[in-house]
Amino acid sequence: MALNATSKPAISFTLTITETSYMNSQVTESTIGGKSDLTFTNGDGTGQINMGSAISGNLPSGGVTSYDFTSFPKAVFGSSINLDFSSGIKGITVVNNYNIPTGSGGIPMAVADLPYININATGSNAFTELFNGESGNIKINPQGSWTFVDFVGRFPTASNKLVHLVDSGSGVPYEITIIGVTG
């Protein structure tokens, strides 16, 4: 069985602003910002990937889930294998899937109390290369996401490989997707 992997990270925003004047004339401005035409082809070089994995889960209240990018889980035919992305991570997306309950009163809690995820690289074997040698500490609010894409890639090692998803204290459903080159 041959395996072929490709990916097209469409990371862009379409912005349309329409202004209607008091005399009913309209001015419309449209733009697309971001990188929407990048394609990773199958392979193991620059601009290429050969594998990906997507995981969804629930962070328990106040919990931490750690991911090792030299042993990242992938579901396969009802089982699981571990993937080693030491040959290059080309993209990661983390999504906070918490649905804000709404009703006639709008958001039922203060914005500061909304459940968020913090993604960081701290402690022993932290994958700080993902954050240019820093710890990250990126807050992802409900229905928000954080995305990293690198045409060249970032390379985890035995001592630089862990990223943590930290719950704010309320329990949060999440997704993490990774693409890259496995060894």
Q: Please give the structure tokens belonging to residue 64.
A: 């931490």
**Tens-digit pLDDT profile for residues 109-168:** 677 778 999 999 999 999 999 999 999 999 999 999 999 999 999 999 999 999 999 999
Q: What is the largest CA-CA distance in the chain?
A: 66
Encode pLDDT of 45-102 as tens digits.
999 999 999 999 999 999 999 999 999 999 888 899 999 999 999 999 999 999 887 7
Domain ranges of the chain: 40-180
Which superfamily, per CATH, for 40-180? Jelly Rolls (2.60.120.10)
* Whole-number pLDDT of residue 2: 65
Determine phi and psi for 112, rounding to 5 degrees. Answer: -65, -20
Give dist(CA 67, CA 175) in Å, integer.
Answer: 12
SS3 label, residue 129: helix
Mean pLDDT of the region 30-38: 71
- pLDDT at res. 105: 61
